[in-house]
Structure 1
Amino acid sequence: MVEALATRTFSTVFSAAKAAGLSFNAIAAATGLKAERVSLIARGEGRVTGIDTIERIADGLRIPGAMLGLAARSWEDDANDIAAETRSAREDESMYRRELLRTALAAGLTAAPLNHVADVLAVADRALSVGGPADLSRLEAATEQHSFGYGGRVPTDVLADLLTDFADVTQLLQRPQPATTRVALARITGQLGGMTAVVLHDLGNRREAYAWFGTATHAAAESGDRSLHAWVLARKAMVPLNFGAPQAATELAEQARRTAGQGPTAAATLAAAVAGRAYALAGRRDEANSALRDADQLADTLPESERADSWFGHCEQKHHVHLSHALSALGETRRARESQTYALALSAPTSTLTRTLLRIDAATCQHRDGDTIGACQSAAAALADAPAHQRTGLTRSRAVDFYRKVPGPIRSAPEARGLAEMLAA
């Protein structure tokens, strides 16, 4: 395009504009040319030589004068001023929205905040269905920062920040973008959408999480990033996995494995580990062990670039968290405890969610080894030690799964009643 403008080859300029979604009628209306002439020029059957016509094209299509060998157009300074003002206003609006979301979400995921979460998702779905330059570096940096997880922050604060950046990306998707930029924006949308779904999942909002994973899957597929697509599917499988539908989880996990392919990637390793967990919970021991062997083999051969301690990487700590859950469900308590020990040693002190889940897995092993009363005490202590905002959602679901394993006669014991009362509260 730059070369075509420099040589004033308007057949290329008009054809590219048409391919990008600007009709010949729209070009004609903007430049004062007849639509028939625009069409002839685009086909190379008409030429533009008059300087007044070239200036009309520059002004109508907002092409900077220097790109056509003209003096700077009168509107260029105004456009730069307006762009700066627009950026400033957008940043102010983004900050206001972020603070408003934090306040609303901190009060709990009630109807009003969830309505806003749904609204942001609906706008993204519309934008992905629609075909200016975007500030990709800022968005990519923000996305990478989000990928390092909670870092001790309250999940609703993380959710507010994710939704704000997601809304910013959605605004860019709604505007015409070069193909390469749109691919990058689709990838960022898939990453931010997937991370938003993860937080909603951890908070126990499974329906909203499932919807966000659906949008993230659409975006990841559009971006052409196979690993991201597989990662979204594997994380989506963890919704039914953690909330009582392991059979549905196995199907999603296997879809993720097919999408990831055979290479040693974080997404392929995650998909195999999630499949192993799902098969274990479904009572399909042979398939569980096969998937876990594949996960171990992939984890051992991962390149360093795939081992990041982030939501998109697969570090050793994360691998042992998955193994802990799967092996506890299979009743292989010795191996499960080894993974729990490794995972706890590798977990940051701020990883309270992970530590709570590992302690509940340990209680499951304690029950499997015959000490159900002690296991009830251990599970209750794990919940009691967790921050108040983490005694719901995923941790509560895992503790409920444990309590369902407690035989009826034992449920009348004080330790079991204490756990039941904590879950009821």
Structure 2
Amino acid sequence: MTAIVLHDLGSRRESRAWFATAARAAAESGDGQLHAWVLAREAMVPLNYGAPKAAAGLAERARHVAGDRPTAAKTLAAAVAARAYALNHQSEQARAALEAADALMDRLPENERSDTWLTYGEQKHHVHLSHAFTTLGDTRLAHVSQERALELSAPTSTMTRTLLNIDAAACSHHDGDTEQACRRTVDALTALPVDYRTGLVRRRALDLYEAIPAQHHGERAVKELRDALSA
């Protein structure tokens, strides 16, 4: 839990150190599913902070450790692998991992779908699909997952809802409306208390800004996004 909070805050080195301790303890316990879950969650550190190749390696290791049964850890690992491959421009591998994640999700026992840290419910699934499809440029499927994830996310799930809104903004950029993308991202950021505009949320918004070609950086909406990121 400490590792996850540090990840969300953007403390990458400290997060990886805590994940290493957790993975070692999980391996020593003999609980393969816990070990796989820790590895899959650890993969989200390089995934979200600029090292998708390393993330894919960790996610594939988690898939291997999880074995063949449809479990929450196995499904999470496949979804994280899909996101990593998408970020690494390996669309074929990303779509194969997405298909695997969907197939596992369909077979998950009910006790693996409840809303806890170690389970994997529909809301979590669509959060991962939103980012994967957004990164792949499949904006139609991304919007479907964004809408479903928002329906299933509690109003108090501030970070999750903000990330989904930034995914939706990235889809607008991909579909050619960069002005709309910037305005949606600025709205998502300014709706947050200042202390929340850091770590993962800032990284995702910065990814969108960096994806905008330099010739558009003088446009008003793009400048407003840059200013929001600098605030």
In structure 1, give the amino acid aligned to 2:100. D
**How do 1:74-93 and structure 2 match up within 5 A?**
none
Residue 386 of structure 1 aligns to a residue whose secondary structure is coil
Task: Describe the SS at the equivalent of 2:120.
Answer: coil
Q: What letter matches 1:345 in structure 2?
A: E
Deviation at 1:274, TM superposition (A): 0.1
Match of 2:140 in 1: 334
Whether the 8 Å CA contact 1:242–1:397 is kept in 2: the answer is yes
Partners of 2:183 and 2:74 in 1: CA distance: 37
Is 2:8 aligned against 1:202? yes
CA deviation after TM superposition for structure 1 residue 311, in Å: 1.8
Instruction: State the partner residue of 1:311.
Output: 117
Aligned to 1:362: 168
- In 1, the alpha carbon distance for the partners of 2:230 and 2:192 equals 16
1:392-412 deviation per Cα after TM superposition (whole angstroms, max 9, x unaligned): 000001111111111111111
TM alignment of 1:44-63, pairs within 5 A: none
In 2: Cα distance, 1:400 partner to 1:256 partner: 28
Matches of 2:63 and 2:133, distance apart in 1: 20
Instruction: Describe how 1:355-394 pairs up with structure 2 within 5 A.
Output: 355-394=161-200
Partners of 1:414 and 1:263 lie apart in 2 by 52
Instruction: Name the residue aligned to 1:42.
Output: none
Structure 2 CA distance for aligned equivalents of residues 311 and 418 of structure 1: 36
Matches within 5 A, 1:242-321: 242-321=48-127
CA distance in 1, matches of 2:175, 2:117: 33
> For residue 154 of structure 2, what is the aligned residue in structure 1?
348
Q: Secondary structure at the match of 1:412?
A: coil
SS in structure 2 opposite 1:314?
coil
CA distance in 1, matches of 2:182, 2:132: 20
Max radius of gyration: which structure? Answer: 1
Aligned AA for 1:218?
R
* Bigger relative CO (Cα 8 Å, ≥ 6 apart): 2
The amino acid of 1:348's aligned partner reads: A
C-alpha separation between the residues in 2 aligned to 1:335 and 1:266? Answer: 22
Which residue of structure 1 aligns with residue 20 of structure 2?
A: 214
AA aligned to 2:217 is R
Q: How far, CA to CA, are the matches of 1:389 and 1:213 in structure 2?
A: 24
What percentage of residue pairs aligned between the two structures are identical?
61
Query: Number of residues paired by the alignment?
Result: 231
Superimposed CA distance per residue, residues 13-65 of structure 1 (whole angstroms, 9 cap, x where no aligned partner): xxxxxxxxxxxxxxxxxxxxxxxxxxxxxxxxxxxxxxxxxxxxxxxxxxxxx
Whole-Å separation in 1 of the counterparts to 2:195 and 2:106: 35
Residue identity opposite 2:101 in structure 1? A
The 2-side partners of 1:241 and 1:402 are apart by 15
Question: Tell me, what secondary structure is at the counterpart of 2:55?
Answer: helix
For 1:318 and 1:273, the matched residues in 2 are separated by 10
**Separation of aligned partners in 1, 2:217 and 2:152:** 34
Q: Which amino acid letter does the alignment assign opposite residue 362 of structure 1?
A: A
TM-score if structure 2 supplies the norm length? Answer: 0.99
Partner letter of residue 289 of structure 1?
R
1:79-122 deviation line (CA, Å, top 9, x unaligned): xxxxxxxxxxxxxxxxxxxxxxxxxxxxxxxxxxxxxxxxxxxx
Distance 2:193 2:33 in 1: 34
Structure 2: distance between partners of 1:322 and 1:278: 11
CA deviation after TM superposition for structure 1 residue 310, in Å: 1.8
- Whether 1:397 aligns to 2:203 is yes
Shift of 1:308: 1.6
Once the two structures are superposed, what CA deviation does each residue of 1:210-240 show, in whole Å capped at 9, x if it has no partner?
0000000010001111110000000000000
TM-score, with structure 1 as normaliser: 0.54
1:314 and 1:340 mapped to 2: Cα distance? 17
Alpha-carbon shift at residue 315 of structure 1 (Å): 0.6
Unaligned stretches of 5+ in structure 2? none
How far is the alpha carbon of 1:421 from its aligned partner? 1.1
CA contact 1:373–1:410 (8 Å) conserved in 2: no
Partners in 2 of 1:386 and 1:282 — Cα distance? 30
Q: Residue 389 of structure 1: CA displacement? A: 2.5
Q: Paired residue for 1:229?
A: 35
Q: How does 1:129-144 map to 2 (within 5 A)?
A: none
Aligned to 1:5: none
Contact 1:324 1:339 in 2 (8 A): yes
Structure 1: how far apart are the matches of 2:151 and 2:203? 24
2:230 alignment partner AA: A
Residue 217 of structure 2 aligns to a residue whose secondary structure is helix
For residues 343-371 of structure 1, give each alpha carbon's deviation from its aligned partner in whole angstroms, at most 9, with x where no partner exists. 00000010000000000000010001100
